[in-house]
Amino acid sequence: MVFSTRALVFSIFLSSLTVACYCKGLAAKVQKSSTATPALVPASFVFGDSLVDAGNNNYIRSLARANYPANGIDFPGHVPTGRFTNNRTVADIVGQLLGLPSFVPVFMNPTTKGKVILQGVNYASGGAGILDFTGYAFIHRIPMWQQIKNFQNTSQQIMQILGPSAGATLIKNSVFSITMGANDYLNNYLVVASPTPRLYNPQNFQNLLISTFKQQLLMLIESGACKFVISNVGALGCTPYCMTTNKTTGGTCVQSDNTLVSGFNTALKSLIDQLNRQFPRAKFILANAFDVLLSLRNNPATNGFSTVDQACCGVPIGPYHGLTPCFPRVAYCANRGQHLFWDPYHPTDAANVIIANRFFTGPPADIYPINIKALAALSMN
C-alpha cells in the first residue's frame, strides 16, 4: 500500500488502504456533497505517506514520485498530479465528505500561501515514515517530524492572517489526519540489507515506532491540534507487491508481513486510548485500514470488485503484476472500478471511495471510538 524500495531491486528504478454502478453513484454523491452542503469543519490538515500524498514529492528530488501517466488517469483533466492512484486518495474523499470546497493544497507548492491555507494543507510525502531513516533509498522524502515542522510554518501564517484567537480556533476545530507507519516496515524494516533488523527485534522496533509517534502527536497537540484521525497500517501482506516478492500462489497473503504490522496496530490502539484519557480536551480516533482493506478483499463481489490481488497498473509479469510501480507507458486495466489495487501498493479510487465512507460514517469496527462525521461535529471552543 506504499511505494516500496524492494521493488527497485526488480525494476529499472533500482534505488507505509464497488459494484461499478454503485461506485460511480457513490463517487458522484461525494462530489456533489462538497458543494451542496456547508463544511463540517473549517479545515483539514493531512500528514502521511504515498497513500495520501497529493503531490508534495513533485517538488523534491525523490525517486518516489507519481507525477507521470497513467497515475491520475481518472482525475479531473486526466492528468497525473503526484497522487499514487488513478484518481483521488482517501484524504481527498474525506475532505469532500467534510464539505470542503476543493482539495486542500500541498505544502511544497509555492502557491500554497495566503488565504488558500485556511481550508487546510496536505503535508504527506511518498516514502515517508515515522522515523527519519525510513525510505532512505528514495534519496529524498519528507518524514513525519519535518511534516510537523511544515505545519507549524502554516500555523504561523494562519495566525498572521486571522489573528491569534481566530487562528487558534480554526486549528483546534480542524481535522488532522495522519497515515503513517506502513513505510517504516515496507521501506525500512523489511528491506533486504536494511540495518534496522540487526539493531531491533520486531518488538523493540514496534516500541520505537510507538514511542516516536507519541512524541510527534504530542507536538501537534502543543501546536493547537485537537481533532485527530489516525490510520493504522493496512494489510501489507495482501498487496500485489508483497505477494509477488514472496511468491505466493492463488492470491494468498503473506501472513508474516500481516502479523508484523498487526502488532503495531494493536499497540497503536492502546496509544489512542491512552491519549484520549490523558487529553480530554482533544479527541483521537483510529481508522482501521487493516480490517477494512481485508473486508474488501474477502468480499469482492459485495463491494463491486472482480480483481483484488492484481495491480491494475504494473508490468504484467507474474500473476499479480506486482514487481514495479505504475511507471510511464506501463499498461493499465480498463475496468479500474473493479480493481482493489491501482498499482502494487495503493488502492484504486473505487476502493478509496468505500474506505473513506466507512471511515466517515462507519461503526467502531471501522473507525474507533467514533467516526469522522461525529468527530467533525465536536465543538472544541
CA distance 324 to 331: 12
Q: Which one from 74, 343, 349, 366 is the annotated catalytic residue? A: 343
Catalytic residue list contains 4:
no
* Strand boundaries in 136-291, DSSP class E: 175-179, 227-231, 283-287
| E strands, the chain, in order | 44-48, 120-122, 175-179, 227-231, 283-287, 367-368
Cell numbers 525517486 correspond to 63
C-alpha cell at 305: 470488485
With CA atoms as reference, report the closest residue to 260 among 192, 314, 184, 193.
Answer: 184
Return the closest-CA partner of residue 5 out of 232, 236, 309, 325: 325
Q: What is the 3-state secondary structure (H, E, C) of 354-372?
A: HHHHHHHHCCCCCEECCCH
> Annotated catalytic residue: which of 50, 125, 177, 194?
50
Say how far apart CA 244 and CA 94 lie, in whole Å: 31
Active-site residue among 194, 231, 346, 366? 346
Q: Is 343 marked active-site?
A: yes
CA distance 45 to 174: 7
Write b or e for each residue in 294-318: b if 16 or more Cβ atoms lie within 10 A of its Cβ, otherwise e: bbbbeeeeebbbebbbbbbbbbeeb
- Alpha carbon distance 51, 166 (integer Å): 31
Max distance between CA atoms of the chain, in angstroms, equals: 59
Whether 62 sits among the annotated catalytic residues: the reply is no
Instruction: Point out the residues that are catalytic.
Output: 50, 343, 346
